[in-house]
Amino acid sequence: MRVASLHRYPIKSHGREQIDAVTLTEGQTTPWDRVWAVTHEATKFDVQSPAWVSCRNFMIGSRTPGLAGIWASLNEKTRQISLRHADLDDITFCPDDANDVARFLSWVAPLCPPERDAPSGVVSAPDRGMTDSPLAAVSIMNTASHADVASKLDTPVELERWRGNIFLNDTPAWAEMEWLGRDIRVGDAVLRVRERIKRCSVTNTNPVTGLRDTDTLDALNTHFGHQDFGVYAEVVTSGDISIGAKAELL
């Protein structure tokens, strides 16, 4: 097995970024992954005691599909993020700056359905990213499984729909579903596979246009008897990973 691609999502559900290499740290999520999240009018997040809360407290692609069309670029030194979307002008802002956040909220508003809760702010937790799982997890996905889903749909399907951190090549389709409880070395890091990832409707959304155009969930349920794609893994040994790095089950 080899690493096909690496991805991070600096603001939860608001843009993806492909990277060439990453250093994983024991017990932590992918660096700079879901560091920030966008609150809405019904969010229950304690800004005085910030901590991980579930995805329903944030603006997410399953309820706001237009967000899926955002791409991101993070400047780690300045903590500034550049976002682009086919239907909007590009924006660069700092999620830690209140004035910049106001600009961002105005920028993203046209993508948000008027009947849904509107975005209200940007928050972060000090110790981990706002990943979907309570586990501080890194997501691992299999390009062969992706190709199998695409073949059942009989149409090209973008890899970005799955919003994974690590994509692996050269392993049989759906082999990852048998890895629960196993350790896998990826580059210099070792991860322990903890759970399968149950997918939501955001995978039905085109990551370029932000429109729901392909029923990936129906394909999963109809052809494979489940709604899962990819696995969550916990980093148990810190290490470096780069595109092309070797991966092996231990």
CATH of 2-7+18-26+133-249, one of 2.102.10.10, 2.40.33.20, 3.90.1150.10, 1.20.990.10: 2.40.33.20
Closest CA to 219 of 138, 178, 162, 140: 162
* Per-residue model confidence as pLDDT tens digits over 202-240: 999 999 889 999 999 999 999 999 999 999 999 999 999
Global pTM? 0.96
Model confidence pLDDT, tens digit, residues 1-44:
999 999 999 999 999 999 999 999 999 999 999 999 999 989 99
Residue 207 DSSP label: T
Give the three-class secondary structure for 3: strand
> Are the CB atoms for 23 and 239 separated by under 8 Å?
yes
| pLDDT digits 0-9 by tens, 154-211 | 988 999 999 999 999 999 999 999 999 999 999 999 999 999 999 999 999 999 889 9
- Name residues whose C-beta falls within 8 Å of residue 118's C-beta, 6 or more positions apart in sequence: 40, 41, 109, 112
Instruction: Print burial letters for 13-38: b (CB count within 10 Å at least 16), e (below 16).
Output: bbbbbebeebebeeebbbebbbbbbb
pLDDT at residue 110, as a whole number? 96
CA distances from 122 to 8, 21, 125, 212, 229 (A): 18, 27, 11, 26, 28
Local confidence band at 49 (pLDDT 50, 70, 90 cut-offs): very high
Phi-psi region of 241 (alpha: psi -120 to 50; beta: other; left: phi over 0): beta
Taking the domains of the chain in order of start, what are their residue ranges?
A: 2-7+18-26+133-249, 36-124
Identify the bridge partners of residue 72 per DSSP, sorted by sequence position. Answer: 83
